[in-house]
């Protein structure tokens, strides 16, 4: 059981990122545990909310800023809905960290292209902050697609990143009045973009976005190993036992969620279609 | 260690003694004529059945269908209390396939850290298997390397020699049990050993079916994309989950909270099945697995391909239970036959 026993954590702050997304700043109740807790970019936690079971949520914070962790949650259903109704001071259960993180050592010195759609920016936010805090990474470019200007999340972060030299380019599927930026799916932001080697792209978003993006990146000359993405699957245990997160012969919770295109090409991934 | 002999007349007295010292589980025929593994309370009342194949396996004893992981409290604070329950138990009369299945579960539940609940029960268990002189109608354990008799893995293995059992131990706990109740047993002589050997040989030729497991495994390793097979079997699958529930090696589960009141509840681990359409469904209804065509792909590939890659052998133990349970014929034997009958692309021309 111990492996399924959550650690209790208190919500110390809630940041509303957009109408659907809230960032929960959390602190483990056990002070020692809180102090020694550590994780890596791209990993996730299984989150418990009273009567709602558990759901996997990625870290949107970076371990370079210890003391609290942050989970950004999109309102999607029962558990995420209940979590959105919680107030600061309330407790949630957390177990983890789980999953294979982004290989930050291998990415060192590279120019990094981040591409995010919607809630997909949550995990990448952790990675970007990790890179900025640690230093030792090349130029950072972020392409971020949202449905509408109102849906753009993490605005404070984006402002800060810009100040720190991150090239942030935003697009919206549908513009509203006052939007003078790019309109269209996030792939439209790729045109004219030049990222010099050594380079990698880190992609996070809905399956449909990933499906269209991967071939685009290949066309731009990114090698398979330079295209890194995260796969999402229904998860129950997070530790490779329950079987729910199967992706061909892998289990996303322990063999992922981070995969590069070279790995994905070896697998039959239905939602990505034929990967060539 | 040398074999021992237990006269059949001594079996029930031995089991009575064992039961006094702890829990005893054995196959029992109930009043409906079903043979199921049951906790033995009363050997006079419960009809021990060593003639028929138990319809259930030992899976529910180590990995119950509804297994409380913890209780939770969410009145003012939110907290979890672990639940662990296990008591010394002797399991008697399981067949070689079921024992092999338990050994497989040992592997599954020790991935990424030993599963506390499972191993609490497992550590308290003594497994006494009974080899199959006469395999049952749908058995094919000879083709999956899990019977009809085993060389190792059991605490004790019984072989039926007519009016007595030949008894051998493989693990310390089995030997301890033999020592403890030594007065029920006599040393086996050369003749007994010959008879045992003979029984094992004969059993191998007593199978009513030959299921070509190895060729199917090879075929799947080379080309797991058998669209016509997936489509036909998925079409006939009625989403009942019976095959997964009855299968001694299907261990997929879900975790759910069961509220008991506003303020508290239980977190349960429950059997699940990859053949259920909800198994992979995500928030908003998106499902990365096309259920209509792929529902049963996972089940068969997991058993005959992925586990071969991961653990070196298929995780079907050839018990044949899924043959009995599925009216749609979506069972292992049918699947293997379909795979082997499929023409290779090269042959199609
Ligand atoms: C590795 C990983 C990281 C994730 N990171 C984030 C994140 O940072 N922020 C965020 O908002 N969302 C994230 N998700 C998605 C999030 O887990 C789902 O939105 C959430 O589980 C939905 O639960 P619900 O009860 O609100 O939805 P419901 O639709 O009510 O859920 C119904 C059932 O489906 C299950 N379920 C539904 N979708 C998923 C899913 N995608 N994964 C696992 N189980 C699911 C739930 O457990 C529940 O049992 C992540 C998913 C994965 C796999
Ligand atoms: S797949 Fe069928 S034959 Fe094989 S172990 Fe499971 S129930 Fe028995
Ligand atoms: S979530 Fe249970 S195996 Fe991956």
B24-56 residue pLDDT tens: 999 999 999 999 999 999 999 999 999 999 999
Tell me what pLDDT residue B227 has. Answer: 87
Strand order through the sheet with A91-98: A54-58, A44-48, A91-98, A7-16, A21-28, A69-74
Tell me what pLDDT residue A275 has. Answer: 72
Per-residue pLDDT tens over the stretch A214-247: 999 999 999 999 999 999 999 999 999 999 999 9
d(CA B133, CA A96): 49
Q: B318 — alpha (psi -120 to 50), left (phi > 0) or beta?
A: left
Q: Does residue A97 have a cis peptide bond before it, meaning omega lies within 30 degrees of 0?
A: yes
Q: Judging by DSSP bridges, how do beta strands A227-230 and A199-204 pair with one another?
A: parallel
Task: Report the residue among B53, B102, B240, B318 best suited for mutation to probe ligand 2: largest number of ligand atoms under 8 A from its CB.
Answer: B318
Q: Which residues, 6+ apart, have CB-to-CB distance to B290 below 8 Å?
A: A270
Per-residue pLDDT tens over the stretch A1-36: 478 999 999 999 999 999 999 999 999 999 999 999
Per-residue pLDDT tens over the stretch B275-285: 888 888 887 77
For residue B295, pLDDT beyond 80: no
Other Cβ atoms within 10 Å of B151 Cβ, number:
9
Q: Could you tell me which chain B residue has the CA closest to the CA of A273?
A: B288
User: In whole numbers, what is the pLDDT of chain A averaged over residues?
Assistant: 94
Task: Report the residue among A4, A56, A243 best suited for mutation to probe ligand 3: largest number of ligand atoms under 8 A from its CB.
Answer: A243
Mean pLDDT, residues A104-133 taken together: 96
Domain ranges of chain B: 4-204, 213-348
Tell me what pLDDT residue A115 has. Answer: 97
Query: B344 falls in which pLDDT band (50, 70, 90)?
Result: low
Q: Is B97 exposed, middle or buried (0-12, 13-18, 19+ CB in 10 A)?
A: buried
For residue B346, pLDDT beyond 70: no
d(CA B145, CA B307): 14
Query: A269 falls in which pLDDT band (50, 70, 90)?
Result: confident
**Topology (CATH level 3) of domain A104-230:** Rossmann fold (3.40.50)
Domain ranges of chain A: 7-98, 104-230
As its CATH architecture, domain A7-98 has Beta Barrel (2.40)
Mean pLDDT, residues B304-308 taken together: 95
For residue B325, pLDDT beyond 60: yes
Sign of the four-CA dihedral A127, A129, A134, A135: positive
Mean pLDDT, residues B204-214 taken together: 93
Tell me what pLDDT residue B349 has. Answer: 41
Mean pLDDT, residues B101-109 taken together: 96
ipTM for the whole complex: 0.91
Chain B partners within 8 Å of A241 (Cβ): 108-109, 111-112, 115, 251, 253
Q: Do B274 and A3 touch (CB under 8 A)?
A: no
Per-residue pLDDT tens over the stretch A14-23: 999 999 999 9
As given in the structure block, the two tokens for residue B336 are: 């293997």
Mean pLDDT, residues A83-106 taken together: 97
Tell me what pLDDT residue B166 has. Answer: 97
Residues 59-78 of A with CB under 8 A from B: 76-77
Q: Which helix (H) or strand (E) holds B35?
A: strand B35-39
Phi, psi torsion values for B317, nearest 5 degrees? -105, 10
Per-residue pLDDT tens over the stretch A139-165: 999 999 999 999 999 999 999 999 999
Other Cβ atoms within 10 Å of B42 Cβ, number:
8
Q: Judging by DSSP bridges, how do beta strands A69-74 and A21-28 pair with one another?
A: antiparallel
Q: Does A131 touch chain B (CB under 8 A)?
A: no
Q: Which helix (H) or strand (E) holds A144?
A: strand A140-146
The residue whose two tokens read 């702890």 is B22
For residue B294, pLDDT beyond 80: no
Q: Do B251 and A2 touch (CB under 8 A)?
A: no
User: In whole numbers, what is the pLDDT of chain B averaged over residues?
Assistant: 92
**Span of A93-102, A139-148, B270-279 with lowest mean pLDDT:** B270-279
């Amino acid at each position: 059981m111990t492996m399924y026993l959550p650690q209790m954590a208190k919500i110390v702050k809630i940041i509303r990122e957009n109408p659907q997304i809230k960032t929960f700043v959390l602190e483990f109740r056990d002070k020692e545990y809180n102090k020694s807790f550590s994780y890596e970019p791209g990993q996730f936690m299984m989150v418990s909310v009273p009567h709602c079971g558990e759901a996997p949520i990625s870290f949107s914070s970076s371990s370079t800023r210890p003391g609290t962790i942050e989970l950004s949650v999109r309102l999607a259903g029962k558990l995420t809905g209940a979590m959105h109704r919680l107030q600061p001071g309330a407790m949630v259960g957390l177990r983890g960290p789980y999953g294979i993180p982004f290989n930050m050592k291998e990415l060192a010195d590279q120019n990094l292209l981040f591409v995010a759609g919607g809630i997909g920016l949550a995990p990448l936010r952790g990675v970007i902050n990790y890179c900025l805090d640690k230093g030792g990474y090349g130029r950072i470019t972020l392409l971020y697609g949202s449905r509408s200007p109102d849906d753009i999340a993490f605005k404070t972060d984006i402002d800060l990143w810009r100040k720190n030299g991150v090239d942030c380019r935003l697009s919206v599927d549908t513009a509203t009045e006052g939007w003078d930026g790019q309109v269209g799916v996030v792939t439209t932001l790729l045109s004219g973009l030049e990222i010099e080697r050594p380079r990698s792209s880190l992609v996070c978003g809905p399956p449909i976005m990933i499906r269209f993006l991967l071939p685009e990146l290949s066309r731009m000359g990114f090698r398979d190993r330079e295209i890194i993405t995260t796969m999402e699957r229904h998860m129950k245990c997070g530790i490779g036992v329950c079987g729910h997160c199967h992706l061909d012969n892998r289990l996303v919770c322990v063999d992922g969620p981070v995969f590069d295109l070279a790995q994905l090409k070896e697998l039959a991934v239905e939602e990505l279609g034929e990967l060539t | 260690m040398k074999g021992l002999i237990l006269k059949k007349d001594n079996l029930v007295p031995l089991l009575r003694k064992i039961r006094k010292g702890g829990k005893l589980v054995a196959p029992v025929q109930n009043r409906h004529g079903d043979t199921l593994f049951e906790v033995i309370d009363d050997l006079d009342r419960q009809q021990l059945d060593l003639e028929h194949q138990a319809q259930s396996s030992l899976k529910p004893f180590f990995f119950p269908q509804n297994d409380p992981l913890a209780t939770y409290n969410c009145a003012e604070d939110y907290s979890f209390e672990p639940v662990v329950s296990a008591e010394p138990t002797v399991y008697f009369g399981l067949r070689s396939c079921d024992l092999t299945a338990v050994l497989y579960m040992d592997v599954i539940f020790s991935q990424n850290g030993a599963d506390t609940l499972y191993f609490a029960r497992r550590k308290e268990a003594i497994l006494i298997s009974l080899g199959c002189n006469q395999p049952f109608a749908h058995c094919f354990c000879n083709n999956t390397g899990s019977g009809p008799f085993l060389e190792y893995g059991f605490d004790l293995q019984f072989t039926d020699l007519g009016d007595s059992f030949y008894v051998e131990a493989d693990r310390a706990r089995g030997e301890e049990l033999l020592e403890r109740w030594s007065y029920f047993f006599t040393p086996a002589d050369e003749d007994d050993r010959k008879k045992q050997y003979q029984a094992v040989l004969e059993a191998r030729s007593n199978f009513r079916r030959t299921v070509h497991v190895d060729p199917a495994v090879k075929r799947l390793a080379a080309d797991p994309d058998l669209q016509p097979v997936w489509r036909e079997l998925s079409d006939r699958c009625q989403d009942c989950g019976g095959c997964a529930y009855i299968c001694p090696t299907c261990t997929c589960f879900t975790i759910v909270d069961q509220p008991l009141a506003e303020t508290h509840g239980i977190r349960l681990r429950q059997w699940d099945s990859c053949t259920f359409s909800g198994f992979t469904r995500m928030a908003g209804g998106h499902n990365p697995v096309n259920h209509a065509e792929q529902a049963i792909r996972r089940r068969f590939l997991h058993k005959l391909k992925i586990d071969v890659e991961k653990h070196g052998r298929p995780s079907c133990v050839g018990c044949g239970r899924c043959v009995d349970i599925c009216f749609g014929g979506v069972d292992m034997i049918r699947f293997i036959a379909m795979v082997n009958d499929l023409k290779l692309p090269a042959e199609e021309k």
